[in-house]
Amino acid sequence: QKEVEQNSGPLSVPEGAIASLNCTYSDRGSQSFFWYRQYSGKSPELIMSIYSNGDKEDGRFTAQLNKASQYVSLLIRDSQPSDSATYLCAVTGGNEKLTFGTGTRLTIIP
């Protein structure tokens, strides 16, 4: 079983709609959770970090964490074509190393 799992997609969302990206993790000792965005041919850049249960909002982005269900999600409101990218979920486990999911490719359709 993979430590961090994401739907590989591709996920297509109309411009202006809400994009919902999901991630589950297997290590109950995980304490820190990150969403990175990676454009084709570029390196990952941090979008959101979340450490406690609940929602965290930053502009059009909302991260949601549910440690009991071992689930973390990212919502993108008012999706823009520039949001088209691969989104990587990353988790820091008990051994402190960052483990990434394989990513979800998101396409925003104008």
Partner 1 sequence: KAGVTQTPRYLIKTRGQQVTLSCSPISGHRSVSWYQQTPGQGLQFLFEYFSETQRNKGNFPGRFSGRQFSNSRSEMNVSTLELGDSALYLCASSWGGGQQETQYFGPGTRLLVL
What are the residues binding partner 1 (CB under 8 A)? 31-32, 34, 42-46, 49, 51, 88, 90, 92, 95-103
**Residue 110 beta carbon to partner 1: minimum distance, rounded to whole angstroms:** 27
Q: Which is nearer to partner 1, 97 or 110 (CB)?
A: 97
CA distances 77 to 21, 30, 54, 63, Å, are: 12, 27, 17, 11
DSSP 8-state symbol, 60: T
Q: Which is nearer to partner 1, 60 or 105 (CB)?
A: 105
**Residue 47 beta carbon to partner 1: minimum distance, rounded to whole angstroms:** 11
**Residue 36 beta carbon to partner 1: minimum distance, rounded to whole angstroms:** 8
The 3-class SS string of 56-107 reads EEECCEEEEEECCCCEEEEEECCCCHHHCEEEEEEEECCCCCEEECCCEEEE
Q: Which is nearer to partner 1, 15 or 28 (CB)?
A: 28
Which two tokens mark 15?
Answer: 């411009």
**Residue 62 beta carbon to partner 1: minimum distance, rounded to whole angstroms:** 18
